[in-house]
A = this chain, B = another copy of it.
């Protein structure tokens, strides 16, 4: 309570802890509406379409009115990042490994469904109510494992990070290479062929051999879900080993 006073205004708004104004006209909007509108634009036109003007016109106010609800555009982006997160999956008595696999995959799916997230996510400790809900569920899933809280947090962080980078990779492969406008490379196959031709075996011995060997053949490269499962398996195996070690001592 005493502490709530010192909360950054942004957080207060994200958590709906704003003091209700007692005078003046009722606000025509709230942060949630604005955030939702911004998300819709981003989904439809990409992040480039999300300008203050565009968001404002979508909710039917003047551009500058938004600044009553948000201190800056960055704040709005932060809200969007929290706002897109749906309810986390239900533990429903799953063993920790199954649940965390589900949980991580769900995070990846969110990122792939809203790829603009990849452009604004400076991966940072969550502060929004929805993201924190996800974190809570991961900790809960690890409840019976004998890990301490710090280890649980670390596991959750690592898995979230994995979802993030894997989604980024998958996206880069799916939508052709964004950095190479139109020309040339369009998928993992092209990537492989390109490198196979381009790399000097003297300075890139292992890599050029792999490429010439056709590692990237058949889209087994990145788009595939199997690759996600692969890395996830590595991580969960590591966690499992840790749990076993803790139990043994």
Contacts and interface: CB of A to CB of B under 8 A. Distances in A.
Interface of A: 3-4, 6-8, 10-11, 15, 71, 74-75, 78, 118-119, 122-125, 127, 132-133, 135-137, 139-140, 143, 149-155, 157-158, 160-162, 164-166, 168-169, 172-173, 177-181, 183-185, 188, 191, 194-195, 197-199, 203-208, 210, 213, 215, 220-222, 227, 230-231, 233-239, 241-242
A17 to B, nearest CB: 9
Given A127-B179, A215-B149, A237-B241, A198 B15 contact: yes
A230 B161 CA distance: 14
Of residues A143, A149, A162, which shows the largest number of chain B Cβ atoms within 10 Å of its Cβ?
Answer: A149
A153 B8 contact: no
A184 to B, nearest CB: 5
Given A123-B165, A160-B165, A161-B165, 20 more contacts: A3-B194, A4-B197, A7-B194, A8-B184, A10-B179, A11-B184, A71-B181, A122-B168, A124-B177, A125-B173, A133-B204, A149-B213, A150-B215, A158-B165, A158-B231, A158-B234, A161-B161, A161-B162, A234-B242, A237-B238
Of residues A158, A178, A185, which shows the largest number of chain B Cβ atoms within 10 Å of its Cβ?
Answer: A158
Cβ-closest 3 pairs across A and B: A161-B165, A234-B238, A124-B172
Given A123-B168, A158-B162, A132 B191 contact: no
B206 A140 contact: yes
Nearest to A143: B206
Nearest to A197: B3
Secondary structure at chain A's binding surface: helix, strand, loop or mixed? Answer: helix
17 contacts: A4-B197, A6-B184, A15-B198, A78-B179, A122-B178, A123-B165, A124-B169, A125-B173, A153-B221, A158-B231, A161-B165, A161-B168, A165-B165, A234-B238, A234-B242, A237-B237, A237-B238
